[in-house]
Chains A and B, each alone.
Chain A
Amino acid sequence: MNLLYTDIEDQLRASVKDLLTDRATPTSVLARCETDAPYDLALWRELTGLGVASLHVPEELGGQGASTREVAVVMEELGRFVAPVPFLGSAVLATTALLGCKAGTEVRELLDALGAGDKIGTLAVSLATAPGSGFPDVVRADDAGLHGHVRSVADGLPADVLLVPARGPDGPELHAVPVAQQGVTVTPVVSLDLTRPVVDVTLDGATGTLVAGPDAAESAVDGALWTAAGLIASEQLAITEWCLATTVAYLKERNQFGRPVGSFQALKHRLADLWQDLVLARAVARNAADDPGPLSASLAKSLCSTVAVHAAEECVQLHGGIGMTWEHPAHLYLKRGKADSIALGTAGRHRQLLAPLANL
């Protein structure tokens, strides 16, 4: 077990951070989120050029042969900038689901395309779906194609291909479904999280490729959800870090009553508590990245959900009036933090998932 960051991870972080510092400034991210192109696909191209979209894909499948540790570092940096790119949907959910399928030609080609950034994918489940909660039951597959309606899918807006869990005649199936066809409708939704908006997906006789049948579909989908739940904790860690650092910087320069607001003990104690939470959050997030599995994922997701939301709420409150404005980026982090706390299972849900694992 290694809960620190390796030199290679630091280098990866630095290259992602360099790019984002230029290309995902708070002003540009905020300006983009109300346009008709809320995703920055040019930035995504450059990120995929760095290899970030195939980090935990084994080399024999054309990936970087790294692990979820490196994926988590990228989650941190993208979260720190609330960068509007489809990393969670394409590089985590869709890619991990494909890694859980038998590596036939279709699966290999799709992994190549997602990793290279030639295609964007996502897993067609509600982002609120918790792992360990059973196979999604909203899409049916039969001779007439796929039929069903999936609400609140993350990163569906820029997706070229949907990985659709469907109930087939013999049990769970996973289909790779191109979006560009008559039977698929992707409807944008006015979303709480401005930088990771969700969509509703309607399938009405859609066709695709079966990538996993009843023998593998359920574990592929559940595995992707567990991996994503453990990794989103690293995003929540970065949200916490940004909120704390930004608030500390502001309270040092903001003067009221003739002194820096940050010199008042009542506020200092709240920030010290956030820092204490951050120390614990980093330990569990790193543990989930290093040793992926249900226990580490639920531990990290339950703790980091609470911590990140609290940090973002404190960030808004301690900025006073400016924190309530649209112009200040704090709300982007509050919205991401709150959405993340629902995504992939709430803190309470993950505590329930922990109970049998902790023999409680």
Chain B
Amino acid sequence: MNLRELTRDFLAEHDPSTMDRLEFLRARFDAGLAWVHFPSGLGGLDLPRADQSIVDDALAKASAPDNDPRRIGIGLGMAAPTILAFGTEEQKQRYLRPLWTGEEVWCQLFSEPGAGSDLAAAGTRAVRDGDDWLLTGQKVWTSSAHTARFAILLARHDPDLPKHAGLTYFVLDMTDPGVEVRPLRQITGEAEFNEVFMTDARIPDADRLGAVGEGWQVAQTTLMNERVAIGSRPAPRDGGMSGVVAQTWRDHPENHTPEAHDRLLDLWTQAEALRLAGYRLRQQLAVGSPGPEGSAMKLAFARLAQQLSGLEVELLGEDGLRYDDWTQRRPDMVDFTGREPGYRYLRAKGNSIEGGTSEVLRNIIAERVLGLPTEPRTDTKVAWKDLPK
């Protein structure tokens, strides 16, 4: 039976208009229609990833509820592929279904105040205690930590080993009494992210992902799956930030200058080029030859979002001196278009930092795409505890 028929039959037996949302999602997972490229029995059917659109299109047409993927992006995009690659059968059975349905939200505990771009320097300690581990340390820039049930976590089990070798990867129950989540207020006024403090937080050894000392390799899988700045569907012209700024330009003829006009046109041109590059990347994926262009797109996206939003504040004239709201809100997700230009300007500053700074991304492009030699390293062969902190 082909996937189209499977989906049709599933819809015939599960009427989304009458069924409870969660029951529908669970049934969809059990039918293998959650992520068809996953194995049978784990929400998938061992099919190519590209086939998912057949299911998604049919379900969307039937107005079926989805799992609100933007709210559980870290679970879907990072935790799930890592659990699939390194988890035991027990772990896969326990975690993947409620992860996918969104019943259990996941967060990612990687970055620390002393380990940002240099993630392998992470210092959160994991100390063996019988069949458990005790975790102590601080993580930062954690989105969804305040709503998450579980976290994927990178910690140091042996400070005497070189930095990469002394890391182990765990699943942490965020309801453990040793875990404290505090909002981290950012330059926009809101608190999208959190700081997470662990004091002897307890993790059963059964919740380790991969072998002791294998944490760095496991983390690579997580990071490789971090979503590049590319949507699942082609964006229309002026669908993003350039369209918003273009409208602000039209709305404020009193602030037009030749300089602002040329700057706007230059940025509009680049934004349109970025949109077409995304379109091209999607075509490459469709014929099964993905290129490394996604990393160029993230760089360009960050730069353009910043320049466009910076111009937009200027186009407002005296209204550019105002800001909509400094209240410490706790948004579920970033909404660039739902707020004022000043917010966009400030939030966009994070685009070149989050998910890998533009500087590190340039190193990666230079070394992996262009094949340039690495810088000489002084930090990889010595014990982690002897590194300058």
- Taking CB atoms, residues of chain B closer than 8 Å to A299 are 269, 272-273
- Taking CB atoms, residues of chain B closer than 8 Å to A279 are 277, 293, 296-297, 300
Residue on B nearest A353 in the bound complex, by CB: B265
Are B372's CB and A3's CB within 8 A?
no
> B388 interface residue, CB < 8 Å from A?
no
Taking CB atoms and an 8 Å cut-off, the chain B residues in 236-273 that contact chain A are 238, 246, 249-250, 261-262, 264-266, 268-270, 272-273
Are A268's CB and B276's CB within 8 A?
no
CA distance A281 to B367 in the complex (A): 21
Given contacts A1-B279, A3-B280, A268-B362, contact A360 B372 (CB under 8 A): no
- Report, as a range, how many residues of chain B touch the other chain: 35 or more
Are B365's CB and A4's CB within 8 A?
no
Are B373's CB and A259's CB within 8 A?
yes
Are B273's CB and A283's CB within 8 A?
yes
Are B371's CB and A360's CB within 8 A?
no
The winner among A3, A276, A281 for most chain B CB atoms within 10 A is A276
| Dominant SS among interface residues on chain B | helix
- Taking CB atoms, residues of chain B closer than 8 Å to A352 are 265
Are A263's CB and B373's CB within 8 A?
yes
Residue on B nearest A251 in the bound complex, by CB: B372
- Taking CB atoms, residues of chain B closer than 8 Å to A284 are 272-273, 276
Given contacts A2-B283, A272-B362, A275-B296, contact A303 B372 (CB under 8 A): no
- Taking CB atoms, residues of chain B closer than 8 Å to A287 are 276
> B370 interface residue, CB < 8 Å from A?
yes
Given contacts A268-B366, A359-B246, contact A263 B279 (CB under 8 A): no
What is the minimal beta-carbon distance from A205 to any residue of chain B, in angstroms?
44
Q: Which residue in A248, A251, A280, A282 is a CB contact (below 8 Å) of B274?
A: A280
Q: Which residue in A2, A265, A282 is a CB contact (below 8 Å) of B375?
A: A265
CA distance A309 to B299 in the complex (A): 21
Are B270's CB and A360's CB within 8 A?
no
> B376 interface residue, CB < 8 Å from A?
yes
Are B269's CB and A302's CB within 8 A?
yes
> Chain A 317-346 against B: per-residue CB contact (8 Å), 1 yes, 0 no?
000000000000000000000000000000
Given A248-B372, A284-B276, A360-B268, 5 further pairs, Cβ under 8 A: A1-B279, A262-B366, A269-B359, A275-B370, A279-B293
Chain A interface (Cβ < 8 Å from any Cβ of B): 1-4, 244, 248, 251-252, 259-260, 262-265, 268-269, 271-273, 275-276, 278-284, 286-287, 299, 302-303, 348, 351-352, 354-355, 358-360
